[in-house]
Amino acid sequence: MSGTNDQVDEILKSVRESPTYLSLWSAYKKIQRLSPKPPKSASLRASIAIIGSSTLEPLAACLDVKIRLEGFHNHTFIGGFNTYRQEAMDKTSELYNAKPDIIILAVDAWTLLDQNFLSSYPRMSSKSRSAAIKELANSLIAIVEVLAKNSAALILVNNFIVPTFSPMGVADNKQKISFRQFFRRANQLLEEKLEAISNVFVMDLDSVASDFGKSRTMNWNTYYRGSVPFGEEFTLVVADEYMRYFRALKGLTKKCIVLDLDNTLWGGIIGEDGIEGIKLGPASPGIEYVEFQRLLLSFYNRGIILAVNSKNNFDDAIKVLREHPHQILKEEHFAALRINWQNKAANIAELAKEINIGLDSIVFIDDNPAEREQIRLTYPEVMVVDLPKNPRLYRTTLENLDVFDALSFTKEDMARGEMYVGKHKRNELEQRSTSIEDFLRTLEIKVRVKLTGDFDTPRVVQLIGKTNQFNLTTRRYTDAEIKSLRDAEESAIYSMAVQDKFGDEGVVGVAIIRKEDVSWTVDSFLMSCRVIGRSIETAFLAKIAADAKTAGTKRVIGEYIPTKKNAPAADFYEHHGFAKQKEMGDGASWMLDLAHGTLEVPDWIDLIEE
Amino acid sequence: MTDAENSLAEIISKVLLLDRNELTDDLKRGDYESWDSMAHLILISEIENEFGIFFEDDEVVDIWTVADIRELLSKKISS
């Protein structure tokens, strides 16, 4: 069947060259006709569903092809015209049979409102306006709650587009509940009532429409001819917005920004202009760079890693980071620095190694097109930003990248930057130590392993969603699936938190166990790459093996499923005395006989059991 | 082929999932599976957008073949 896959690749290649609405639609129909077989590897399969109040094929088609462009085989379920209620209520419906990763609920406010709503609004009492707001929001929330109950998918609910028109004209907001406020309040209700359901997201269609230009969102011809509301261009924009959630769910988002210094973080060249001469300060020229840095600091504060890659004399450049009164990003905000005369491609590879992240998690920002080209050619997996020549556009360029999305923020995210300070200190200590054991002993590592509770579940969900390197099986689970695995008798989720004398790393490891009488199977085992190299994984596995033995089972079974990125975990089971059971595709399953083999916690680790 | 003819052929072939050389004037809606109502809707809209014109409902219904599209379009562009 490779013929079919080649044809699909050919179709996708032509879409890449001309990503128009027409090309995407055509590609979708052609791929459906070929119906390619799903790949063996579950990590490359995706399934989405879109239901709602209009004809959704065009939007679904664009989204389907965009998912395929990310390298996934995708199944798309498209709900019928205005049949979303039945589809949501019927547990046996095709919607749920397709086991979607994501369900999109796209309902137009006007299909939920009374047909006389617009004409009656000017004469409606504020009391009935208020009641109608609740009715509008609640009818949608009711559907969302059914979806969340029947499916473990990530659920995306479009909010309502607030009209720009009002029958009351400029005096609209002189009313108790203005026409536009009606829709704003309904949106607010959606957000308030759905905020607590962790796998439900309100997709801010109103903002997306505003950004695009509300007067251009609709194609009234296709709307009246066939209930296709959105114009061609806007359909692509909406599909892109859904893709942000998809990438976040599948762990495809960026984690680190690598920055140049001269003419990127400040104007001018420090080596020539000197610390007093560079443009960085409260007025233009200079304020552009300050505001760009403030945006970068906001990313840092939510857990994006920052690093420097600059051709400079180290002493000149570091002086700005340490001493310039208007410099926003200080030395401690950067997880790693490469300020030297080496070529930048070599530097970026070193940075990735030092920070311990994949090159494909990096965004590179540099004003010099030649440097950008070099990185692009050497490491195509690095995202290289086409920075505009005009520094006044740096900030908006970064704001519009939309590649840093996460589905939740944990205390580990918020403190990520500080953790790298601890890492620096650890590195210094390592260089001074006479042996690796010596070094590890002086770290005073404490490892806490416990069954996941409510409090650490969001972090567990996050680690399962984004850990790529030290991940034995790379199985991704949704929030709802994880909660059901956590709560079920026949499975358990362990989480591991690590601290040492340089700081608290928080929860950095997760293992999902499927329990049977004679054996425990390690469905998932993963660890943040930040803590690799301290044998912490050995302590974690030892604790699981000990629990398995206490539970009366005879063996622990583990699997390794290779991906492009998880080579660091390849010899994990072999290294810990597991015997190979059988080859499975490219991977293998491994077994530890608990009657003969045991696992020792390394003596430099203090394992705290809870 | 003029630019207009070229872009029309591009639209039709993409919507009807055909190679450019497979496109014939007598290709007929109803006979050809890929030319369903959804494809028709998209075809009409793409042509409207590309050429900045508008098809009346009667005209949309009366378009049955590729030749019909060409004929109607040239009438609209020249008028």
What pLDDT was estimated at residue A203? 98
- The 10 Å Cβ neighbour count of residue A440 is 21
| Spatial strand order in the sheet of A491-500 | A579-584, A587-593, A555-560, A519-527, A503-515, A491-500, A445-451, A605-609
What's the one-letter identity of residue A508?
V
Within 8 A of B11 by CB-CB distance, chain A residues are 22
Of A26, A29, A221, the CB nearest to B45: A221
pLDDT tier for residue B74 given thresholds of 50, 70 and 90? very high
- Say which CATH architecture domain A433-609 belongs to: 3-Layer(aba) Sandwich (3.40)
pLDDT tops 80 at residue A53: yes
What pLDDT was estimated at residue A161? 98
DSSP reduced 3-state for A116: coil
For residue A66, which of A243, A212, A206 has the smallest C-alpha distance? A243
Tell me whether the CATH fold assigned to A38-249 matches the one assigned to A433-609.
Answer: no
Instruction: Please state, in angstroms and rounded to a whole number, the distance separating the CA atoms of residues A226 and B31.
Output: 21
Q: What's the gap between Cα A554 and its chain centre?
A: 38
pLDDT tops 90 at residue A609: no
CATH topology of domain A256-399: Rossmann fold (3.40.50)
pLDDT tier for residue A523 given thresholds of 50, 70 and 90? very high
Which CATH superfamily does the domain covering A38-249 fall into?
Answer: SGNH hydrolase (3.40.50.1110)
pLDDT tops 90 at residue A41: no
Which range is least confidently modeled, A99-108, A320-329, A379-388, B25-34? B25-34
What pLDDT was estimated at residue A126? 96
pLDDT in tens, A142-151: 999 999 999 9
Q: Cβ of A222 and B38 within 8 Å?
A: no
Ranked by mean pLDDT, the top range of A35-39, A223-227, B73-77 is A223-227
Of A26, A58, A232, the CB nearest to B14: A26
Phi, psi torsion values for A400, nearest 5 degrees:
-95, 5
pLDDT tier for residue A225 given thresholds of 50, 70 and 90? very high
Mean pLDDT score, B3-17: 94
Mean pLDDT score, A188-214: 97
Mean pLDDT score, A506-533: 93
pLDDT tops 70 at residue A419: yes
pLDDT tops 50 at residue A237: yes
Gap from B46 CA to chain A (nearest CA, Å): 8
Instruction: Please state, in angstroms and rounded to a whole number, the distance separating the CA atoms of residues A407 and A273.
Output: 43
pLDDT tier for residue A192 given thresholds of 50, 70 and 90? very high
Q: Which residue of B has its CA nearest to A29?
A: B17
pLDDT tier for residue B38 given thresholds of 50, 70 and 90? very high
Say what percent of chain A tops pLDDT 70: 100
Q: Cβ of B14 and A221 within 8 Å?
A: no
Residue B37 contacts A where some CB pair is shorter than 8 Å: yes
Gap from A23 CA to chain B (nearest CA, Å): 7
What pLDDT was estimated at residue A1? 47
Mean pLDDT score, B14-28: 93
Q: Cβ of B44 and A225 within 8 Å?
A: yes
Which range is least confidently modeled, A73-77, A153-157, A476-480, B45-49? A476-480
Q: Which residue of B has its CA nearest to A231?
A: B45
CB contact set of A555 (below 8 Å; sequence gap of 6+): A518, A519, A520, A548, A591, A592, A593, A594
Of B11, B41, B57, the CB nearest to A228: B41
Domain residues of chain B, as ranges?
3-78
DSSP chain B: --HHHHHHHHHHHHHTT--GGG--TT-BBTTBTT--HHHHHHHHHHHHHHHT----HHHHHH--BHHHHHHHHHHHHH-
pLDDT in tens, A110-124: 999 999 999 999 999
What pLDDT was estimated at residue A2? 58
CATH topology of domain B3-78: 1.10.1200
What pLDDT was estimated at residue A573? 95
Residue B11 contacts A where some CB pair is shorter than 8 Å: yes
Interface confidence (ipTM) of the complex: 0.96
Mean pLDDT score, A455-472: 92
pLDDT tops 90 at residue A422: no
What pLDDT was estimated at residue A319? 97
> The pTM is what?
0.86
Mean pLDDT score, A301-310: 96
Of A26, A55, A221, the CB nearest to B17: A26
pLDDT tops 90 at residue A251: no
Instruction: Please state, in angstroms and rounded to a whole number, the distance separating the CA atoms of residues A347 and A46.
Output: 35
Mean pLDDT score, A167-185: 96
Instruction: Please state, in angstroms and rounded to a whole number, the distance separating the CA atoms of residues A359 and A346.
Output: 12
Of residues A24 and A505, the one with the higher pLDDT is: A24
pLDDT in tens, A347-404: 999 999 998 889 999 999 999 999 999 999 999 999 999 999 999 999 999 999 999 9
Q: Which residue of B has its CA nearest to A28?
A: B17
pLDDT tier for residue A483 given thresholds of 50, 70 and 90? very high
Instruction: Please state, in angstroms and rounded to a whole number, the distance separating the CA atoms of residues A183 and A196.
Output: 21
Whether the bond into A58 is cis, omega within 30 of 0: no
Q: Which residue of B has its CA nearest to A30?
A: B17
pLDDT tier for residue A434 given thresholds of 50, 70 and 90? confident
Mean pLDDT score, A197-211: 96
What pLDDT was estimated at residue A584? 84
Find out whether A512 and A522 touch, Cβ atoms under 8 Å: yes
Q: Exposure of A397 by Cβ count < 10 A (0-12 exposed, 13-18 middle, 19+ buried)?
A: middle
**Interface residues of chain A, partner chain B, Cβ below 8 Å:** 22-23, 25-26, 29-30, 33, 55, 57-58, 219, 221-222, 225-226, 228, 232
Of A33, A57, A221, the CB nearest to B48: A221
